[in-house]
Structure 1
């Protein structure tokens, strides 16, 4: 079984698919945007990349969310709650970290399954 990659550069791939599992690289929003706008942009990118791989948010197995500021947790959750498939919520972890690019407030990565 081989790995299928999308959006690859010398450093990373936006998407890697192995078997029926889809791995996305961490998605970040524009540094100038508000937390809500960054989160919506990140989730839109996730939707686009999942579609590229042949799946969607209803098949997300696990999500990891990194926030630059823990006080942004409620605001990020409000946007997440609008986006997440309420019938199929993934396992999820959220942590506060020092994101590498100044102005970035949120980074999200997901692992998803391909549908049967």
Structure 2
């Protein structure tokens, strides 16, 4: 196995993704717009997750673990509706969902995933 680390979307404070030994680690993905409801924000974040996984040589069927942070745990039902429609049937990953104080008051959700790369 290689000890090489590939970083994607590198900024001064963090990278949007890092790949090590065939495992993709995404940073917390948050909505690009804060003016939509939990359904819209969840769709926005899941699209970002999809894009970052593709950039890293993976996809949503290869998610190993998901951590979901909600500003209000009462949003879990609506968030789950969007999540359930997005997840590839038969590949639902282990997941934790908790209520958390997010960095921007307009954000209702943040999602962190770890995924396996596709075989080369």
Q: Same fold (TM over 0.5)?
A: yes
Aligned to 2:29: 27
- TM-score, normalised to structure 2, is 0.94
**Structure 1, unaligned runs of 5 or more:** none
Query: What root-mean-square deviation, in Å, do the aligned CA atoms of Structure 1 and Structure 2 show?
Result: 0.7
- TM-score, normalised to structure 1, is 0.97
Deviations 1:45-70 (A, max 9, x none): 00000000011001000000000001
Aligned to 2:98: 95
Runs of 4+ in 1 over 4 A off after TM superposition: none
How many pairs does the alignment contain?
116
Aligned to 1:17: 19
Aligned to 2:67: 64
Q: Tell me the distance in 2 between the aligned counterparts of 1:86 and 1:8.
A: 32
Q: Tell me the distance in 2 between the aligned counterparts of 1:85 and 1:109.
A: 17
**Structure 2, unaligned runs of 5 or more:** none
Q: Tell me the distance in 2 between the aligned counterparts of 1:70 and 1:43.
A: 18
